[in-house]
Amino acid sequence: MRKRMKIIWYHPSMDAQCWLTGVARRLPDAEIRLWQPGDDACADYAIVRSPPVEMLAGRSLKGLFAMGAGVDELLQQQRQHPDRLSDQVPLYRLEDTGMAQQMQEYANWCVLGWYRRFADYQRQQQARCWQPLPLPARDTFTIGVLGAGVLGRSVLESLQQWGFPLRCWSRTPKTLPGVHAFHGDAALHDFLAGCQVVIDLLPATPETTDLINADFLRALPHGAHFLNLARGAHVVEADLLAALNSGQLAAAALDVFQQEPLPADDALWQHPHVTITPHSAAITLPEQAMDAIASAIQQLEKGQQPPGRVDRQRGY
Ligand code: NDP
Ligand code: OXD
């Protein structure tokens, strides 16, 4: 009799039953179970978010699936426990699965709000002030996206309709229609000079940690705007706050932070030019994520290579 493939699942907050039944429906040949402490029975695949080290320790899985786009937490865990977690297990992440549209929505809302000065109008409304405000020339309102991967490219595509100059910055060269592409550390300051809006869609890796610091912020034009849709680890928050206080940054919208949840006494909460959301820019949509993961497992079972494989060396 053919051995049934075994899948273990863990997420600290998502509805386990929805996933267990959803994956079982898509993979009728599989046995899927909620991993619980003490469970070291065999498994072929694991589907995880923020798993305890014990769940994956000593396992040589055929595939490890992250229930998100970023895998920084899993790779960090691996670096901290190299003796317990195998770096040979193929690691896969979610590519888009409905997150690209959510990122487009957030980015367009911010860009248009900043361009059309809606926060200024809100302040004027509070003062019962009737005063039309001048707008910057559209062709000077340059928007730069850090990262030109699945989500960065999608956000750039969605911004094309407004006619703003668009830029991207990535590790390797890119050719994207209608986008001035920069790549590599040496080109970062050229990319930043002239950006009225910077949108962060980079992965968190050792190279991108603390990238957005005083030096980075000084390279922007005075009064620029910053949107972080990616990871808090990219930002030196004291430098960001100083740039907001000095007016070097006119505004920031922040979905992610060095420490999450953002501590109640953090100065960012109260800042008049900061918008905060609780790491919800693009959430994992279970149905689409399950479709992608189940399809990837089927491909692996057939000896094929599914999309979304993480390059552990590169860190994303
Ligand atoms: P991708 O891996 O598809 O894209 C990453 C991009 O970043 C690539 O263009 C890559 O360059 C570039 N990059 C990586 N390292 C560097 C570097 N050192 N210098 C310059 N460019 C670099 O990722 P996604 O677009 O799918 O996701 C991006 C990130 O968004 C995730 O890693 C995650 O952290 C975050 N995220 C946040 C969510 C939220 O709710 N806040 C939800 C989902 C994702 P190259 O193309 O040359 O390799
Ligand atoms: C992700 C996230 O990486 O939710 O998917 O941040």
The answer, as to whether pTM is greater than 0.75, is yes
The preferred substitution site among 201, 216, 312 for testing ligand 1, maximizing ligand atoms within 8 Å of CB, is 201
Ligand nearest to the CA of 228: 1
Catalytic residue (one of 167, 171, 231, 234)? 231
d(Cα 6, Cα 46) in Å, to the nearest integer? 9
- The question of whether 314 is a catalytic residue gets the answer no
Chain position carrying tokens 């497992």: 297
Nearest protein CA to atom 42 of ligand 1, as residue? 282
Q: What is the pLDDT of residue 1?
A: 59
- The question of whether 279 is a catalytic residue gets the answer yes
Residue 306 Cβ inside 6 Å of ligand 2? The answer reads no
Provide the residue-wise pLDDT of the chain in tens; the chain has 316 residues.
Answer: 567 999 999 999 999 999 999 999 999 999 999 999 999 999 999 999 999 999 999 999 999 999 999 999 999 999 999 999 999 999 999 999 999 999 999 999 999 999 999 999 999 999 999 999 999 999 999 999 999 999 999 999 999 999 999 999 999 999 999 999 999 999 999 999 999 999 999 999 999 999 999 999 999 999 999 999 999 999 999 999 999 999 999 999 999 999 999 999 999 999 999 999 999 999 999 999 999 999 999 999 999 999 999 999 999 9
How far from 260 is each of 71, 236, 239, 244, 283, CA to CA, in Å?
16, 15, 18, 21, 15
Q: What is the pLDDT of residue 3?
A: 76
Q: How far is the CA of 256 from the centre of ligand 2 (A)?
A: 10
